[in-house]
Amino acid sequence: MRKIGVLTSGGDSPGMNPCIRAVVRKAIYEGLEVMGIKRGFRGLMEGDVEELHAHSVSGIIHQGGTILKTARAESFKTKEGQGRAVKTIKKLGIEGLIVIGGDGSLRGAYTLDRDWDIPVIGVPASIDNDIAGTDFSIGFLTAVNTALEAIDRIRDTATSHNRLFIIEVMGRSSGFIALWAGLAGGAEDILIPERKTDLDEVCRKLEEGRLRGKSSSILVVAEGDEAGGAFEIAKRIEKKIGYETRVVVLGHLQRGGSPVALDRILATKLGTSAVELLIKGERRKMVGLISNQIKASPIEYAWKEKKKVDLSFYDLSQVMAI
């Protein structure tokens, strides 16, 4: 193998930059050329590509976002779009592709390999942490810390005013960020899609807490929870128990910021492993961290297996909230 390509795709996540850096530096160290593809599969279809050198990735290890930019490219789902992407790959002589992104992006990578015979290796990067085949996806731990900082600040004002705050976090249809940030932030309750929400029970516990003298309460709600979104939940709780409530939706601020040390290290390990796999002639695999070991699994495992949240986090949060 002489030349590889690298792209970031889907929602960005803190740690994509250190991962690009790892891919580029490892590849150059091993004597390969590296092409950086801009704006994910969209850039691949449009031929928006530039060669990356060791110095191209200087000074990015601490930066959120992705220097390669990213996109959600609907047209790549069509045969015509994929054909255009393959044309770029062939024209540039790219012999293997590393795709850094979430499950949708890994599906795109899989299609390029299976249907168009382009060797690909996937690297899981998403704040949602919903990708099977790795304990952590790049960006998740940073997003949890960002949400946690917000929760800590909100706790101050909640306590001053004796209020209930409902804090909505991201995660699409999974509750990883909510469970981790909620447990770490001492939330009174955590509402996630993986566990049925009984609002009467939530209200009962909040009331009990107030009677025991709690000076504030925080509910962390995952955006995918079926109870109807933070504003709807706030309305229903205020109506039922008259607890003065405010809502904070953290939104995209969870996607930005400097990656924490663990995300940088994870990105460095996964990025370099992806290059090693391509050199060894492996393909259609995803690299991941499982029980502190770097492991490669078939890329389709990432979305075919449903990654389960650890509900003991929820149970523990309830013990802590007495």
What amino acid positions are annotated as catalytic residues?
128
214 assigned ligand-binding residue:
yes
Task: Identify whether the C-beta of residue 151 lies closer than 8 Å to the C-beta of residue 179.
Answer: no
Distant-in-sequence, close-in-space partners of 171: CB < 8 Å, separation ≥ 6:
127, 128, 129, 130, 177, 178, 192, 222, 223, 224
Cβ of residue 171: shortest distance to ligand F6P, in angstroms? 5
What is the DSSP-derived secondary structure letter of residue 184?
A: H
Gap between the Cα atoms of 139 and 256, Å rounded: 9
Among 33, 128, 168, 225, binds ligand F6P (CB under 6 A): 128
Q: Secondary structure of 118-160 in the HEC alphabet?
A: CCEEEEEECCCCCCCCCCCCECHHHHHHHHHHHHHHHHHHHHH
Q: Is 33 in the site for ligand F6P (CB under 6 A)?
A: no
Q: Which residues inside 215-244 make contact with ligand F6P, applying CB under 6 A? A: 223
The two structure tokens encoding residue 34: 């590296």
215 assigned ligand-binding residue:
yes
Q: Is 171 in the site for ligand F6P (CB under 6 A)?
A: yes
Residue 78, CA distances (Å) to 5, 237, 246 in order:
21, 46, 44
44 assigned ligand-binding residue:
no
Q: Is 170 in the site for ligand F6P (CB under 6 A)?
A: yes
Gap between the Cα atoms of 66 and 320, Å rounded: 38
Q: Is 64 in the site for ligand F6P (CB under 6 A)?
A: no
Instruction: Give the total residue count for the chain.
Output: 322
Q: Which residues inside 240-269 make contact with ligand F6P, applying CB under 6 A? A: 255
Cβ of residue 184: shortest distance to ligand F6P, in angstroms? 18
Cβ of residue 138: shortest distance to ligand F6P, in angstroms? 12
186 assigned ligand-binding residue:
yes
Mask 11-30, x = binds ligand F6P (CB under 6 A)? x-------------------
Kindly tell me the burial class for residue 285, based on how many C-beta atoms sit within 10 Å of its own C-beta (0-12, 13-18, 19 or more).
buried
Q: Is 101 in the site for ligand F6P (CB under 6 A)?
A: no
Q: Is 274 in the site for ligand F6P (CB under 6 A)?
A: no
Annotated binding site for ATP: 11, 72-73, 102-105
Annotated binding residues for ADP: 21-25, 155, 186-188, 212, 214-216
Q: Footprint of ligand F6P on this chain (CB under 6 A)? A: 11, 102, 126-128, 170-172, 223, 255
